[in-house]
């Protein structure tokens, strides 16, 4: 179900203040995130070893986490530092998860800590380069995270779900190509000599282009394990080279999708758009962000109803079409990684059993 030895977005960096913890469930692991004494992001098991209360209900004090039930103070490595009237050195430690803060996000590794490496985080230059602008948001979606991957790797749904913004019949009429490029599954579609849909007409006007001119449009969806999808999108004036057209003759962006599994039927969805035109225009960034929020909320409504239907009709066989190739290949990658992790785990000795209670 989940790839565990991988980096997942837990939250944006600004969603983790210095004085308050944040509770998140990632790959069925209940976690509490907070900032340590040097301001570093920390992720621990969301479980107080005293009475099992979620530590996320507590507070952060001088870079340590204080349980909101009896005042137990937990350090960044999962060891109890203090509890009134007790000897905390006898308390069992709780699990600490590797954490990485980069690109404006806090990333968590829910798998084996010794396998965590910053090098395994994919390069995301469009989130830190000065010639790109970014705006995004977060949705909690009550659906299997793989349904979101399916959705983003098959954009033919835009014609129907997003008919008033980014959808148009030419998406249905233009065949797409699916291939595996290195570690990525890539689905691409190129449309030529068409009218831009409403969203892209607005973007063209903001960039000083005639919004009613004929354009060449592209959609290139890239899936990277464990569950990241980035979509290179845009339009260029017809005949000027499409995606390779000069910057002043096109509007180009990357739809950024970080999909973090919560449970088997829910996930956290950090979405956004990094664009490469009019990057200094903060008002345009906010306008695009609001427009994207509306678009993705339409996806959310579909996926949650889809999950309900699939749960009601568990085991029922679904029809697979050629447009599903991108999502199917992505699911294969996920399944292969999950199986490899399970096989590796079966060869390791079991961890020592912790006592249910520890008396101080």
pLDDT digits (tens, 9 = 90+) for 1-47: 899 999 999 999 999 999 999 999 999 999 999 999 999 999 999 99
- Mean predicted confidence (pLDDT) in 191-207: 96
Does the pLDDT of residue 354 top 50, yes or no? no
360 pLDDT band (50/70/90 cuts)? very low
Does the pLDDT of residue 358 top 50, yes or no? no
Hey, where are the domains in the chain? 8-118, 132-339
Q: What residues contact 347, with CB distance under 8 A and at least 6 apart?
A: none
State the pLDDT at residue 359: 38
- Mean predicted confidence (pLDDT) in 196-204: 95
Question: What b/e string do you get for 68-89 counting C-beta neighbours within 10 Å, with b at 16 or more?
Answer: beeebbbbbebebbebeebebe
State the pLDDT at residue 297: 95
Q: Is the peptide bond before 226 cis (omega within 30 degrees of 0)?
A: yes
Does the pLDDT of residue 353 top 70, yes or no? no
The reported pTM is: 0.92
Q: Residue 99 in contact with residue 108, Cβ under 8 Å?
A: yes
Distance, CA of 359 to CA of 348 (rounded, Å): 31
Residue 338 structure tokens:
């999950």
Q: What is the three-class DSSP state of 341? A: helix
- Mean predicted confidence (pLDDT) in 325-352: 85
Q: Give the tens place of pLDDT for each residue, 220-269.
A: 999 999 999 999 999 999 999 999 999 999 999 999 999 999 999 999 99
State the pLDDT at residue 356: 41
Please give the angle made by the CA atoms of 143, 145 and 149, to the nearest 5 degrees.
120
CATH architecture of the domain 8-118 equals 3-layer Sandwich (2.102)
Does the pLDDT of residue 87 top 80, yes or no? no
Residue with tokens 């009237």: 85
Angstrom CA distances, 232 to 63, 128, 156, 273, 286, stand at 40, 17, 15, 10, 20
Q: What's the chain's length in residues?
A: 360
Handedness of CA 287, 200, 9, 262 (dihedral sign): positive
State the pLDDT at residue 349: 58
Handedness of CA 339, 112, 80, 263 (dihedral sign): negative
Put residue 183 in one of left, alpha, beta given phi > 0 → left and psi -120 to 50 → alpha.
alpha
Q: Give the tens place of pLDDT for each residue, 144-191.
A: 999 999 999 999 999 889 988 999 999 989 999 999 999 999 999 999
Does the pLDDT of residue 192 top 70, yes or no? yes
State the pLDDT at residue 261: 98
pLDDT, the chain, mean = 93
Distance, CA of 253 to CA of 264 (rounded, Å): 31
Greater model confidence, 92 or 54: 54
Distance, CA of 260 to CA of 26 (rounded, Å): 7
Does the pLDDT of residue 344 top 90, yes or no? no
State the pLDDT at residue 83: 80
- Mean predicted confidence (pLDDT) in 313-336: 93
CATH superfamily ID and name for 132-339? Naphthalene 1,2-dioxygenase Alpha Subunit; Chain A, domain 1 (3.90.380.10)
Q: Give the tens place of pLDDT for each residue, 101-154.
A: 999 999 999 999 999 999 999 889 999 899 999 999 999 999 999 999 999 999
State the pLDDT at residue 85: 73
CA terminus-to-terminus distance, the chain: 39
Distance, CA of 343 to CA of 341 (rounded, Å): 5
Q: Residue 60 in contact with residue 19, Cβ under 8 Å?
A: yes
């Amino acid at each position: 179900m989940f790839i565990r030895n991988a980096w997942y977005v837990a939250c944006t960096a600004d969603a983790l203040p210095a004085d308050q913890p944040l509770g998140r469930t990632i790959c069925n692991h209940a976690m509490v995130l907070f900032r340590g004494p040097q301001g570093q992001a920390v992720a621990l098991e969301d479980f107080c070893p005293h009475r099992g209360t979620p530590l996320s209900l507590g507070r952060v004090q001088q870079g340590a986490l204080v349980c909101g039930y009896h005042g137990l103070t937990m350090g960044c490595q999962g060891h109890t530092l203090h509890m009134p009237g007790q000897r905390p050195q006898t308390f069992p430690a709780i699990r600490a998860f590797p954490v990485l803060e980069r690109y404006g996000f806090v990333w968590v590794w829910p798998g084996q800590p010794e396998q965590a490496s910053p090098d395994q985080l994919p390069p995301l230059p469009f989130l830190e380069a000065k010639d790109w602008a970014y705006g995004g948001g977060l949705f909690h979606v009550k659906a299997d995270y793989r349904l979101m991957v399916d959705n983003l790797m098959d954009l033919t749904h835009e014609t129907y779900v997003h008919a008033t913004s980014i959808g148009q019949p030419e998406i249905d009429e233009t065949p797409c190509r699916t291939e595996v490029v290195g570690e990525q599954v890539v689905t691409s579609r190129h449309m030529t000599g068409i009218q831009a849909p409403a969203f892209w007409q607005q973007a063209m006007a903001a960039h000083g282009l005639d919004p009613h001119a004929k354009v060449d449009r592209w959609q290139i969806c890239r899936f990277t394990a464990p569950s990241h999808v980035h979509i290179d999108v845009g339009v260029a004036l017809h005949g000027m080279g499409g995606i390779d057209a000069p910057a002043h003759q096109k509007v180009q962006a990357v739809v950024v999708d970080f999909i973090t599994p919560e449970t088997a039927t829910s996930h956290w969805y950090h979405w956004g758009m990094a664009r490469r035109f009019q990057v200094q225009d903060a008002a345009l960034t906010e306008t695009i962000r609001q427009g994207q929020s509306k678009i993705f909320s339409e996806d959310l409504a579909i996926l949650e109803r889809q999950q309900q239907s699939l749960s009601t009709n568990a085991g029922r066989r679904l029809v697979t079409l050629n447009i599903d190739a991108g999502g199917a290949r992505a699911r294969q990658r996920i399944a292969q990684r999950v199986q490899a992790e399970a096989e590796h785990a079966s060869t390791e000795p079991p961890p020592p059993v912790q006592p249910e209670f520890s008396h101080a």
